Structure 1
């Protein structure tokens, strides 16, 4: 229970610090870049998933034929 409390306190402090950092121009630039990288990564994972799914569906159709 004590560990969970420290985890919650750490998360709260992290959010507070991130909010304060985001108020500065350099912080906004940092978080903007971080957001772009995260979105690009998510998009790449999603595209890879769709490609692989199409390959597997094609292989299943070929095997059935």
Structure 2
């Protein structure tokens, strides 16, 4: 609680000092210069943030494209495997059917 009180006293004291300094023409210029520097600093920080955000967006977009390609490749591989398995089952069924027919004909003879 004591720390909060000192913090509030510091803020109020800072505003009071800025008000007194702002009344003096030289102090007004100093505060204007400080304000300009703070504005320049925030502009630079904003530009850096937007630059990093653009890099991150590019990275995420690239990762999304890679993931989409991987999903497409897996889907194609699954479809190819399904078709190959279907062909193998059809061939096996045909072979078994031929063997059963041959066995049945052999048994008749």
CA distance in 2 between partners of 1:56 and 1:3 (Å):
40
Deviant stretches of 4+, over 2 Å: 1-11
Residues 61/2 of structure 1: CA separation in 2 closer, same or farther (3 Å cut): closer
Larger radius of gyration: 2
Deviation at 1:41, TM superposition (A): 0.6
Match of 1:54 in 2: 54
Deviation at 1:59, TM superposition (A): 1.1
RMSD between superposed Cα atoms in Å: 1.4
The within-5 A match list for 1:1-65 is 1-65=1-65
Aligned pairs, number: 65
CA distance in 1 between partners of 2:57 and 2:4 (Å):
44
List per-residue Cα deviations over 1:26-48 (Å, max 9, x = no partner).
Answer: 10110000000001111111111
Residues 2/58 of structure 1: CA separation in 2 closer, same or farther (3 Å cut): closer
TM (norm. structure 1) is 0.83
Deviation at 1:6, TM superposition (A): 3.2
Give ranges in structure 1 of 5+ residues lacking alignment: none
TM (norm. structure 2) is 0.53
Residues 19/58 of structure 1: CA separation in 2 closer, same or farther (3 Å cut): same
